Structure 1
Amino acid sequence: MQYATTPPGDKRIHCSRFSGLIIVLLSQILQQILIECDHRLRLRLLRTICRSLDCFLGQGCMEATIPNVTRDAEDVSISGSRTLEPDSLKDLRSRKLVTPGHRVGEILLADIPDDLPKTDNVQGDIYILFPKMAENFIFFVIKDVTDFKSKLKNYTPTNTTTVLQNLKEISKKKGTEDDPHVDLQQSQIAFTQSGLITLGVIKSSDKLGDSIFDDGPLWKQVPKLGDSQRDQYSPAFKYGKKHGVFMVAASDPDLCKKESDRIKALFGFSIGDVDEEAGFVRPGKKNRGHEHFGYKDGVSQPALRGLVKPHKGQLQADPGVVVMGYKGDPLLKTRPAWMKDGTYMVIRKLEQDVPYFNKYLQFYSPNWRDYVPKDHDSNKDPLSTKEAEELVGARLVGRWKSGAPLALAPVRDNPTMAADKEQVNNFDYTVQGQLNPSDYYCPFTAHARKTAPRNLDPGIPYGLEIGDPNATTRGLLFVCYQSSIDNGFYRQTAGFAGNDFFPHTDLIPKYQGQDPIIGGPPKIYTATPDQGGDVAESGKVTVQVTNGDGTLVEVTGFSSVVQKSVTSMDPYPVTSRGGEFFFVPSLSTLASWAS
């Protein structure tokens, strides 16, 4: 949220500090309403709140920038940079976001206008995503800049046009009786801040406008992300020394290795200190597209307007939210020309403790009656042991293993719904008869609810299956793209998943807890009040406790009753093994650097 400054001579009244605090709290609630409510209820609430603020603060005092996310093709569209005032809410209109003549969900292949990214200039995995069965990440340090630039002339990354052609070929083959397999080898290149400095693209003192990228490697920013075991990072990510990465994606592991070897041979001694991380789609039709905990991945990817047709309920974003230099880019007017058609990429290696996660589900499954909605008759319709374990997992993730949302299927999985692209994202978290955001069907802390998507994240599993005698560790090689790491990955990780008080559901901040999957266990201090007796179950309280050294400490805050739920005993089964921030340049920018 941002508030516009009052220009000189403006007759609007200035808010007091108290009024400003009220606005900040209300604006946070407004943001949550935009994410979760039905659009008709959303508009009524917005109008009511803004009229109330007009009466309380004076006409036109509140100006809030609302995130540029819309729900579906029939939903209310709110532009990312537009300033909303109480009287301007009437300008919000329901509008079609897709043009007629195309099936919903397909990729637009017509001539692309000037205000949209050019597919032949954008590297291939950014918004269409590489089709792949295997992927290899080659992290490197530039040893000889002149030699590297010379070799760069002979390297051509896969562009988005080629990826579209590959997808068409795969689709064509699937419609025949022939072998649908299509041999594919695709790659792209990206650079860290240190890599851009080494190439002479920027100086060490230069700032590109993204505080996270400008602050240097992810290694230095561990406290911001909640990573607690930096000493256990994988070699590729230790100390933040890498200059770049080649991403190689292919239709099978052999082709992936062959293309990886070709690229390493091409750049030869111009690069060194190479570390690699390999990922593979899980074997078997049942596991394909599912991460190691068993949940379908990538269900709620946002669609970029004008480039990808949305399904019903699919979140949409302007192209500039992902690809720099277009509408939705927060730094559209100040970007250097060489950044256009580029994006920021974040890579993280997330280790998943599958045996522990499964034991957790088994341990809490006998309590399943505590987790079903109150309107479900548990005596007439009891859950089996397997169904109870799946329910515990769905309460943590926010979706069932099939991808079906807990908000629409609150008791049992619904694979039919999950397979329907027009249903699987066509929902919100509103509950009939309840005005405020509700956790009646889906916990506020569920992973899918905590991490409302603000970026594209085409991750891939790594490691062998449970039961494989050669298996050691396994997890997810997480990748996401955004034009602003501040507004994308960082907000999603620190502002949402790791924020104990998100989502905002009331004027008074309420403790919700962290994302139970990718969050980190918070430090919880427990003590008994010195005075004894009961503590008020709600409202502001002040409690005195005595530390071990005899120091008397006074604690003031807001109390609330801890509800019995799975999320009060979060498992935290994911451990970060490192990661890095990269800039993915356009093909034309790469060509200019090579020359």
Structure 2
Amino acid sequence: MSLFGKLRSHIQEHTVTLDLDDIQATVLRLRPEPYFGTHFLLHFRTPESGRGFIRRVAPHIASAEQWWNGDHPWTAVALSYAGLEALDVPRSSLQSFPEGFRVGMAARATQLLDTGPNDPKRWDKVFREEKIHAALTVFAPSEASWRETATMLEEQFRGTPGLSIVGRDDFGAQPGSRNSLGYKDLISNPAIEGSGVTPFPGQGPAIKAGEFVLGYPGEAGIPLPMPQPDVLGRNGTFVAFRKYHTRAGSFNRFLRDNASDEESRELLAAKLVGRWRSGAPLTLAPEQDDPDLGADPHRNNDFQYKHDPDGLQVPAGSHMRRMNPRDSEMQLMADVNLHRIIRRATAFGPAYDADAITFEEDAVERGLHFIFMSARAMETVEFLQRNWINKGEFVGLGDERDPIIGVQEPQLTFTIPKTPVRTRVHGMDTFNELKGGEYFFMPGLAALAWLGQEH
């Protein structure tokens, strides 16, 4: 059964309470497997060109009505604060957006701990020039449907005077839909109350919709503040887009330097992430990989950490346990539900090769687009970057950092608990370097119609 077939079996349409016909599909729709697509980055030279683009593209933006059916390509669009300014959105509306969104991701580098190799001064030119007004993404389950949809949209772009494509990244087509380090990903997305989905085992109770979509009560029982007027904010969400370049050669050299054979290298790789490359969690498969488990959504997320408090199976500092501590005991307390995000990561470049260890491999154009969506995306991503990714104090690991997306320094280590003596692995490198990013607002379909008008 396909991914969407498995999902459809968990849908109860009578429980839907969200305005699915007004929410963009990609807020709720999972990435297909296999997947193909393109991220277009666009610039408006005049307000008229921006509004013309909105009017032309709006009919092609898929709604979340029957979001669980992803057997056909779909398109999503989001706008930066500079893009909203370029559309001549009224000043009172612009000022109703959160500060982090208004100043943009580069200006929040201190809050994000984007330093060293991740410093905005080192980003790709398109992200440094601050010309990105809109991001438009095509997702498709086949290469043919992707190319057809992308070509159609490019024709729409050419038909809009004053509209420029300032960046284009094609993605997907990875064997087994693996990421740039060879792992199956996007397994543990939250279930959203009111979307009609029955949570898969291990997802826990559905999280209040207002944590992800504006206009609905959040975990505190009240809606979060949203942009004004209501037609602009309701059913929208915020997006954090971060493009990483993967240094696969460095990752492979690290595994070889710290493990003597292929079996032990794969175990070390699993300890860094918290899952085997197949997606099987170490909690359920602590000794060896289990690809059937990794492929089964009814089982591959059905676990907690209460029986592994010391991290003997899954190190507390592993990427997966940091990003979703579940029931882990934390020294610095935080409500995990308030820091959950919808993830739509996409991989680009050639497939990962575990045998490629050269320095030239580090320069290959390969990487990940991390796409986070949440009603409080700026606040959540900055919290994660500052407290859970680039520090380890919340789980008693001091300065240790996320081994996959953290910014490493020469003296830092990765701790693997063992009995009787733990192992501290040295030689950590920054395996994924940030090449750019931006905060976007993904409006509902009614808001798109409003944005396409002169105000």
Q: Quickly name the TM-score band, shorter chain normalised.
A: 0.7 to 0.9
Displacement, 1:303?
Answer: 1.0
Letter in 1 for 2:275: R
Alignment of 1:127-138 (within 5 A): 127-131=28-32, 133-138=35-40
Instruction: Tell me the equivalent position of 1:581.
Output: 439
Select which of 132, 135, 152 maps to 1:242: 132
Letter in 2 for 1:440: L
Select which of 177, 184, 188 maps to 1:289: 177
State the TM-score, normalizing by the size of structure 1.
0.63
Instruction: Tell me the equivalent position of 1:593.
Output: 451
Select which of 304, 307, 315 maps to 1:443: 315
**Change in 2 beyond 3 A, CA 1:363/1:257:** same
User: Percent of aligned positions with the same letter in both sequences?
Assistant: 24
**Change in 2 beyond 3 A, CA 1:425/1:401:** same
Aligned partners of 1:262 and 1:590: how far apart in 2? 20
Alpha-carbon contact 1:502-1:512 (below 8 Å) kept: no
1:392 aligns with 2:268: yes
Alpha-carbon contact 2:84-2:94 (below 8 Å) kept: no
Select which of 274, 280, 293 maps to 2:166: 274
Instruction: Tell me the equivalent position of 2:26.
Output: 125
**Change in 2 beyond 3 A, CA 1:133/1:425:** closer
Alignment of 1:514-525 (within 5 A): 514-522=401-409
How many residues align structurally? 406
Displacement, 1:327?
Answer: 2.1
Aligned partners of 1:523 and 1:359: how far apart in 2? 15
Select which of 429, 432, 441 maps to 1:571: 429
1:154 aligns with 2:56: yes
Instruction: Tell me the equivalent position of 1:225.
Output: 112
SS in structure 1 at match of 2:343: coil
Letter in 1 for 2:22: N
Instruction: Tell me the equivalent position of 2:330.
Output: none
1:210 aligns with 2:98: yes
1:139 aligns with 2:31: no
Alpha-carbon contact 2:210-2:218 (below 8 Å) kept: yes
Deviation per CA, 1:36-69: give whole Å up to 9, x if none. Answer: xxxxxxxxxxxxxxxxxxxxxxxxxxxxxxxxxx
Alpha-carbon contact 1:112-1:118 (below 8 Å) kept: no
Displacement, 1:585?
Answer: 0.3
Alpha-carbon contact 2:104-2:439 (below 8 Å) kept: yes
Aligned partners of 2:402 and 2:79: how far apart in 1? 30
Deviation per CA, 1:173-216: give whole Å up to 9, x if none. Answer: xxxxxxxxxxx3321211001111222335399544634213x2
SS in structure 2 at match of 1:146: helix
Aligned partners of 1:266 and 1:581: how far apart in 2? 24
Aligned partners of 1:306 and 1:272: how far apart in 2? 38
Alignment of 1:72-471 (within 5 A): 106-108=9-11, 110-111=13-14, 116-131=17-32, 133-155=35-57, 156=59, 157-161=61-65, 163-164=67-68, 166-167=69-70, 170=71, 184-203=72-91, 206-208=94-96, 210-214=98-102, 216-227=103-114, 228-229=116-117, 230-267=120-157, 268-272=160-164, 274-282=166-174, 287-307=175-195, 308-315=197-204, 316-328=206-218, 332=223, 334-335=225-226, 336=228, 337=230, 338-366=232-260, 385-431=261-307, 437-452=309-324, 454-465=340-351
Displacement, 1:411?
Answer: 2.3
**Change in 2 beyond 3 A, CA 1:152/1:329:** farther
SS in structure 2 at match of 1:161: coil
Letter in 1 for 2:46: D
Aligned partners of 1:233 and 1:301: how far apart in 2? 28
Letter in 2 for 1:110: E
Alpha-carbon contact 1:345-1:480 (below 8 Å) kept: yes
**Change in 2 beyond 3 A, CA 1:260/1:443:** same
Letter in 1 for 2:134: G
SS in structure 1 at match of 2:382: helix
SS in structure 1 at match of 2:62: coil
Aligned partners of 2:38 and 2:140: how far apart in 1? 9
Select which of 382, 389, 400 maps to 1:490: 382
**Change in 2 beyond 3 A, CA 1:329/1:481:** farther
Alignment of 1:23-34 (within 5 A): none
Displacement, 1:299?
Answer: 1.2
Alpha-carbon contact 1:500-1:512 (below 8 Å) kept: yes
SS in structure 2 at match of 1:154: helix
Letter in 1 for 2:43: V
**Change in 2 beyond 3 A, CA 1:218/1:138:** same
Aligned partners of 2:322 and 2:63: how far apart in 1? 33
Provide the alpha-carbon RMSD of the alignment.
2.9
Deviation per CA, 1:387-428: give whole Å up to 9, x if none. Answer: 211111111111111111122322222223323323222212
Displacement, 1:295?
Answer: 0.9
Letter in 2 for 1:565: T
Structure 1's unaligned 5+ residue stretches are: 1-102, 171-183, 367-384, 526-562
Aligned partners of 1:162 and 1:120: how far apart in 2? 9
Alpha-carbon contact 2:25-2:65 (below 8 Å) kept: yes
Displacement, 1:225?
Answer: 2.4
Aligned partners of 1:462 and 1:272: how far apart in 2? 22
Displacement, 1:512?
Answer: 5.7
Identify the structure with bigger relative contact order (alpha carbons < 8 Å, sequence gap 6+): 2
Aligned partners of 2:294 and 2:73: how far apart in 1? 30
SS in structure 2 at match of 1:582: strand
**Change in 2 beyond 3 A, CA 1:269/1:255:** farther
Structure 2's unaligned 5+ residue stretches are: 1-5, 325-338, 413-420
Moved more, 144-153 or 490-499: 144-153
Displacement, 1:571?
Answer: 3.3
**Change in 2 beyond 3 A, CA 1:135/1:202:** farther
Aligned partners of 1:162 and 1:422: how far apart in 2? 21
Moved more, 139-148 or 397-406: 139-148
Aligned partners of 2:216 and 2:386: how far apart in 1? 26
Aligned partners of 1:210 and 1:521: how far apart in 2? 30
Instruction: Tell me the equivalent position of 1:73.
Output: none
Alpha-carbon contact 2:49-2:163 (below 8 Å) kept: no
Alpha-carbon contact 1:349-1:476 (below 8 Å) kept: yes
Letter in 2 for 1:347: F
